[in-house]
Amino acid sequence: MAPARFARYCQSMINKKLFFKTNQAGVVFGAVLLATLTGSAVYADDLHVGVYIAPPVVVAPVVVVQDDYVYYPDYAVYYNSRRHQYAYLQGGAWIFAAAPQGISVDVLLASPSVHMDWHDAPEHHHAEMVQKYPRNRKPSVEHQDHRDDVKAAAPDRDGKDRDKH
Q: What is the mean pLDDT of residues 116-143?
A: 79
DSSP 8-class letter at 98 = S
The pLDDT tens digits of the residues spanning 68-115 come to 999 999 999 999 999 999 999 999 999 999 999 989 999 999 999 999
Mean pLDDT over each residue of the chain, to the nearest integer: 75
- Indicate the pTM of the whole model: 0.48
Q: The dihedral of CA 101, 104, 107, 108: what is its sign?
A: positive
Per-residue pLDDT tens over the stretch 55-67: 888 888 887 778 8
State the Cα–Cα distance between residues 26 and 34, nearest whole angstrom: 12
